[in-house]
C-alpha cells in the first residue's frame, strides 16, 4: 500500500489477492501515473473503483514468465490502489484459440496468487462477448465516414501501404459511398463473401495513408474468416482485429489504465482516436481509458515466444508445456517455483520504459530468498558411494538428529539412523587428494587417512578403500570414534576440517531425482533471429537414482525441501506416488552458472 493516499481506508481491492512478499512495492513510472490520476481524480466515476486494470491474454497458448510480469503489474496495481483487475480473454482469432488455454490461463493466474473477484463478483470477460457491440460500432464508423470496405487484393493492399519513409497510396475503394460500404459490410457478415475478398478499414483522417506511423495507415478493423470459434461457434464469419477490439473492450469495461508492452506505442494514436470517436458517438462515457506502455520482460536463457515454446513441445525437446525446463507458469510451478518467488522477482525487476535483459540468476535468486527461510532441510546423496564403518556392529543402529530448519527450532527435529553401511557422495572421496581437499582421503605409508565428521553423526577416520576390476572406487572404509557423536559431551574434542553429508544404506529412501538445469546454453537463445534449437543445453536434465534420508518417503507432491549442500528440490506434482516421491531440482544453492 503506498503511503499518504486519501482512500487508504477503503482498501478493498480484489479480495483474494495475496500481498506481495517483503516490503511495500517499489515505485515505478506506472505507479506514478496512477498516483497522480488518483490525486487529480481523473477517473472518478460513480460506483466504480478509481483504478481498473486488466490482464488480456489471448487463449492461444500457455502463460509464461513474461506474462507473469504483466499479471503482477496489473493485479498488483489493483491490489495496492483499492482497485480492480479484470481477466479478459482476447479471443478474436478463432483458428488458434481453445478452451484448454482458457482453463490453464485461469489456473495460472490463480496460482500466482491473484483473483479477478471483487466483493463477491467475478470480473472475468471475453472479447468474444462483445462481438455484437463491436459490430454495431463498426457500422457507426462506416456511417460517419470513419471506416470503409476495401476490396483490394491482399497484394495490392500490401503494396499500397508504402513503408517506413514512403507514404502509402489510397485504396481506389477508399472514397466509395458510406452506404455502399455499409451494404458490403452487412453482406460480409451474412457470409456472402469468401475469406479475404473484402476487409473493413479505418479512415482516421483524409491523409492517414501518408502518416509516418504505419499503424495509422487505414488499419484493418474486420476480416472475413469462415472459421469456428471456441465460444461463439459458427455465429460469425467476420472477426474483429486485435487493434480494433482491444481499445473497445477496455472502454466497455471502464478500464482506467490499459498497460501494454512497448511495441504497441505506435498503436496508441489509433487507440486514442477510436475510443474518443466512439465516445463522441455516445458509445462510452468519458473519461476514456488511456494506454501506457512498459518494457516487456526479456529473460536470459529462455525463449518466451509462444510459437517457439510450442515448437519445443511439438518436436519432443521437452515433455510438454509443463516440462520443468519450460519458462511457462505451469513449467515453473512443476519445477518447484513458488508463487511468492515469482511475485518477488517481478517486484525486483520493476517496470520501466527501457527494454533490456534480466538475467536468469535474478529469478533464481528470488526463489532462493523465498525458499531459504521456509524450506525444511533434508539430506540427499545424489551420486552415491558406499562408506563402511568397519568397527560399527552389523545390524545395529544409533539414532541421530538435526533441526528441520536451522533458524526455526520450533519446527522440531528430524531423526535418521547411523548404521555400519552408509552412502556418501562420490566427490567426498579422493584417492590422491588435491591441495586443500578436506574430505575422505586414504592412508598413505605411515600417514593415517583423513578424519572427517559425518554431519550430525560421528567423527570417522578413513582406513582404506575398495576398487572393482575396472579400477573404480566402489567403497570407502572408515573407523568411527564412539565418543564423538554430535551433540554429546566431548564431541567437540575432535577437531576436523571436513563435515560430510551421508545417509544410512539400510534405511535410505531410493528415489529418482531429476537434476534440471537451464534449457539453453546461450543467454539470448533467439536474439537476432538465431536458431534457438542449435543452442539447447544437452545437460538440461540429468536423472539420478539418489538415496534420501528415510523421512523423505512421506514427501507429498509440491512439497519443497532444501537438500543440504545440493539446492532446493520439490516432489514432482505429476510423477510422485504416495511413499514414492520423485524429486525435481528447482535450483542449486548458489549461482554457479558461468563460474
Binding site members: 58-60, 64-70, 90, 242, 261, 296-297
Q: How far is CA 91 from the centre of its chain?
A: 21
Q: How many Cα atoms are found within 13 Å in the side-chain-facing hemisphere of 546?
A: 28
Report in angstroms how near the CB of residue 509 gets to ligand ATP at its nearest: 40
The CA-CA-CA angle for residues 342, 347, 349, to 5°, reads 95
- Residue 527: all three cell numbers together: 536474439
Least Å distance, CB 306 to ligand ATP, is 4
Report the alpha-carbon distance of residue 475 to residue 505 in Å, rounded: 12
* Residues shown for the chain: 595
Nearer to Mg ion by C-beta: 58 or 272? 58
Q: Name residues whose C-beta falls within 8 Å of residue 535's C-beta, 6 or more positions apart in sequence.
A: 520, 521, 522, 525
CB of 60 to Mg ion, least distance (A): 8
Contact residues for ligand ATP (CB under 6 A)? 56-58, 66-67, 69-70, 260-261, 296-297, 304-306
Q: Are 239 and 223 in contact (CB under 8 A)?
A: yes
Contact partner at residue 507 from ligand ATP, Mg ion, none, CB < 5 to 8 Å by partner kind: none
Position of minimal CB gap to Mg ion = 58
Q: How far is the CB of 247 from Mg ion (least distance, A)?
A: 14
Q: Would you give the binding string for Mg ion spanning residues 42-81, x where CB under 5 A is met?
A: ----------------x-----------------------
Per DSSP, the residues of 533-560 read GGGB-TTSEEEEEEEE-GGGGG--TT-E
Q: Residue 70's binding partner, choosing from ligand ATP, Mg ion, none, with beta-carbon cut-off 5 to 8 A by kind?
A: ligand ATP
DSSP state of 297: P
Cα–Cα distance, 87 to 56 (Å, whole number):
6
Catalytic: 203? no
The CB-of-70 to Mg ion minimum distance in angstroms stands at: 11
Residue ranges for the known binding site for ATP are: 58-60, 64-70, 261, 296-297
Nearer to ligand ATP, 57 or 240 (CB): 57
Q: What's the min distance (Å) between Cβ of 58 and Mg ion?
A: 5
What burial class does residue 65 get, using C-beta atoms within 10 Å of its C-beta: 0-12 exposed, 13-18 middle, 19+ buried?
A: buried
CB of residue 527 to ligand ATP, shortest distance in Å: 14
Core vs surface per residue 458-474: b (16+ CB within 10 A) or e: bbbbbbebeeeeeeebe
Closer to ligand ATP by Cβ: residue 260 or 586: 260
306 is annotated as an active-site residue: yes
**Catalytic residue selected from 174, 306, 325, 573:** 306
Given the residues 110, 161, 186, 296, select the one marked as catalytic: 296
CA pair distance 178, 427, nearest whole angstrom: 80
Report the binding-site residues for L-glutamine. Answer: 90, 242
User: CB-wise, 56 or 525, nearer to ligand ATP?
Assistant: 56
The distance of closest approach from Cβ of residue 265 to ligand ATP in the complex, given in angstroms and rounded to an integer, is: 12
Residues 6+ apart with CB under 8 A from 572: 324, 334, 514, 557, 581, 582, 583, 584
560 an active-site residue? no
Of these partners, Mg ion, ligand ATP, none, which one is at the site of residue 327 (CB under 5 to 8 Å by kind)? none
Q: Is the dihedral of CA 500, 505, 507, 508 positive or negative?
A: positive
Euclidean distance between CA atoms 553 and 159, whole angstroms: 67
Q: How far apart are CA 259 and CA 257, in angstroms?
A: 6
Cα 341 from chain centroid?
10
**Could you tell me which residues come within 8 angstroms of residue 421 by beta carbon, excluding any fewer than 6 positions away?**
386, 387, 388, 389, 504, 505, 506
Q: How far is the C-alpha of 454 from the C-alpha of 500, rounded, in Å?
A: 5
When CB distances to ligand ATP are compared, the closest residue is 66
Q: Which is nearer to Mg ion, 54 or 198 (CB)?
A: 54
List helix spans (H) across 25-153: 29-40, 65-80, 99-111, 131-143
Given the complex with Mg ion, which of 143 and 243 has the nearer CB atom?
243
Give Cβ neighbours of residue 153 (< 8 Å, ≥ 6 apart). none
In angstroms and rounded to an integer, the radius of gyration of the C-alpha atoms of the chain is: 31
Q: What is the DSSP letter of 422?
A: E
For Mg ion, the binding residues (CB under 5 A) are: 58
Residues annotated catalytic, as ranges: 58, 296, 306
Amino acid at each position: 500500500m503506498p503511503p499518504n493516499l486519501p482512500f487508504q481506508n477503503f482498501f478493498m481491492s480484489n479480495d483474494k489477492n495475496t500481498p506481495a512478499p517483503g516490503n511495500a512495492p517499489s515505485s515505478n513510472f506506472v505507479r506514478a501515473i496512477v498516483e497522480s490520476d488518483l490525486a487529480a481524480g481523473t477517473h472518478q466515476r460513480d460506483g466504480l473503483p478509481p483504478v481498473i486494470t486488466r490482464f488480456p491474454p489471448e487463449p492461444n497458448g500457455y502463460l509464461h514468465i513474461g506474462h507473469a510480469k504483466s499479471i503482477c503489474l496489473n493485479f498488483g496495481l489493483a491490489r495496492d490502489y483499492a482497485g480492480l483487475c479484470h481477466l479478459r480473454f482476447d479471443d478474436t482469432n478463432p483458428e488458434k484459440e481453445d478452451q484448454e488455454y482458457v482453463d490453464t490461463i485461469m489456473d495460472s493466474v490463480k496460482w500466482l496468487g491473484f483473483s479477478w473477484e471483487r466483493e463477491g463478483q467475478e470480473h472475468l470477460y471475453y472479447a468474444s462477448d462483445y462481438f455484437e457491440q463491436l459490430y454495431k460500432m463498426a457500422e457507426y464508423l462506416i456511417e460517419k465516414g470513419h471506416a470503409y470496405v476495401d476490396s483490394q487484393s491482399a497484394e495490392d493492399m500490401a503494396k499500397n501501404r508504402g513503408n517506413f519513409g514512403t507514404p502509402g497510396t489510397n485504396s481506389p475503394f477508399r472514397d466509395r459511398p458510406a452506404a455502399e460500404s455499409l451494404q458490403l459490410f452487412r453482406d460480409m457478415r451474412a457470409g456472402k463473401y469468401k475469406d479475404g475478398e473484402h476487409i473493413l478499414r479505418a479512415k482516421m483522417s483524409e491523409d492517414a495513408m501518408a502518416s509516418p506511423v504505419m499503424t495509422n495507415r487505414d488499419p484493418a478493423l474486420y476480416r472475413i474468416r469462415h472459421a469456428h470459434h471456441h465460444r461463439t461457434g459458427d455465429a460469425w464469419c467476420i472477426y474483429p482485429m486485435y487493434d480494433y477490439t482491444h481499445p473497445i473492450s477496455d472502454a466497455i469495461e471502464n478500464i482506467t489504465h490499459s498497460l501494454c508492452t512497448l511495441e504497441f506505442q505506435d498503436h496508441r494514436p489509433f487507440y486514442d482516436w477510436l475510443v474518443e470517436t466512439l465516445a463522441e458517438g455516445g458509445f462510452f462515457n468519458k473519461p476514456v481509458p488511456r494506454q501506457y506502455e512498459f518494457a516487456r520482460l526479456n529473460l536470459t536463457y529462455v525463449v518466451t515466444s509462444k510459437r517457439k515454446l510450442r515448437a519445443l513441445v511439438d518436436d519432443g525437446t521437452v515433455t510438454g508445456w509443463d516440462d520443468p525446463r519450460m519458462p511457462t507458469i505451469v513449467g515453473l510451478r512443476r519445477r518447484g517455483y513458488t508463487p511468492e518467488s515469482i511475485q518477488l522477482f517481478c517486484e525486483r525487476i520493476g517496470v520501466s520504459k527501457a527494454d533490456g535483459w534480466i538475467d536468469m540468476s535474478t529469478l533464481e535468486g528470488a526463489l532462493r530468498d523465498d525458499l531459504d527461510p521456509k524450506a525444511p532441510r533434508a539430506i540427499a546423496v545424489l551420486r552415491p558411494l558406499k562408506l563402511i564403518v568397519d568397527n560399527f556392529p552389523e545390524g545395529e543402529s544409533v539414532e541421530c538428529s538435526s533441526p528441520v530448519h536451522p533458524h526455526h527450532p520450533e519446527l522440531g527435529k528430524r531423526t535418521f539412523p547411523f548404521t555400519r553401511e552408509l552412502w556418501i557422495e562420490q566427490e567426498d572421496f579422493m584417492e590422491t587428494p588435491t591441495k586443500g581437499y578436506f574430505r575422505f582421503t586414504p592412508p598413505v605409508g605411515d600417514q593415517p587417512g583423513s578424519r572427517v565428521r559425518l554431519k550430525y553423526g560421528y567423527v570417522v577416520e578413513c582406513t582404506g578403500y575398495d576398487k572393482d576390476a575396472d579400477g573404480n572406487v566402489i567403497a570407502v572404509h572408515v573407523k568411527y570414534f564412539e565418543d564423538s557423536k554430535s551433540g554429546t559431551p566431548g564431541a567437540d574434542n575432535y577437531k576436523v576440517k571436513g563435515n560430510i553429508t551421508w545417509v544410512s544404506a539400510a534405511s535410505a529412501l531410493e528415489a529418482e531425482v531429476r537434476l534440471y538445469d537451464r534449457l539453453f546454453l546461450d543467454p539470448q537463445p533467439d536474439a537476432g533471429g538465431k536458431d534457438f534449437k542449435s543452442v539447447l543445453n544437452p545437460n538440461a536434465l540429468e536423472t539420478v537414482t539418489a538415496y534420501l534420508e528415510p523421512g523423505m518417503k512421506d514427501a507429498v507432491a509440491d512439497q519443497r525441501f532444501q537438500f543440504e549442500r545440493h539446492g532446493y528440490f520439490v516432489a514432482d506434482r505429476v510423477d510422485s506416488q504416495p511413499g514414492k516421491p520423485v524429486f525435481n531440482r528447482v535450483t542449486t544453492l548458489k549461482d554457479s552458472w558461468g563460474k
